[in-house]
Amino acid sequence: MKLLAVCGMGIGTSVLLKMNAEKVLKTLEIEATVDATDLATAQERRDAQIILTTPDLVDKLQGLPAEVIAIEHFFDLEEITKKLSHSLG
C-alpha cells in the first residue's frame, strides 16, 4: 500500500507528516510506504491509495484515484490514527 504526504513545497511539512504517518501505520501494523511530495508531483502520481495533506490543499487533490484525507494537527498521532483507521476499515 502506498500513501503520499503532500504539502505545497515538498521540503517541510510533508516530511513531518510522513514521519508521523509512518509511526501510526507501524502501530496499526499496516504494511505501507509513505512518500513526501509537493503538490505538483502529487497531482501527477497515480500509484497511491491514500493522500494525507492539510485542509487547504484537499481541493487541489481531487480527481485522483487516491482517497484524500485532511490532517489538521501534524503531531496529533490520535487524529492521524483515527482518520487512517477509518479509511482503511
Partner 1 sequence: MALTNSARLSAAGVASMRFAAVDEALGEGAIALGVSATDRTAAIRAAGDLLEATGRTTAAYTDEMVRAVEDHGPYIVIAPGIALAHGRPSAEVLETGLSLVTLAEPVVFGHAANDPVRLVIGLAAFDHNAHLGLMRELALLLGDDAAVNSVLKAVQTEQVRSLL
Instruction: Kindly state the number of chain residues that form the binding site for partner 1, as judged by CB under 8 A.
Output: 27
For cell 499496516, the residue is 30
Q: How far apart are CA 71 and CA 73, in angstroms?
A: 6
Of the CA atoms within 13 Å of residue 6, those in its CB half-sphere come to 30
Closer to partner 1 by CB, 62 or 89: give it: 62
Q: Is 69 in the site for partner 1 (CB under 8 A)?
A: no
Q: Is 11 in the site for partner 1 (CB under 8 A)?
A: yes
Q: Is 51 in the site for partner 1 (CB under 8 A)?
A: no
Q: How far is the CB of 62 from partner 1 (least distance, A)?
A: 15
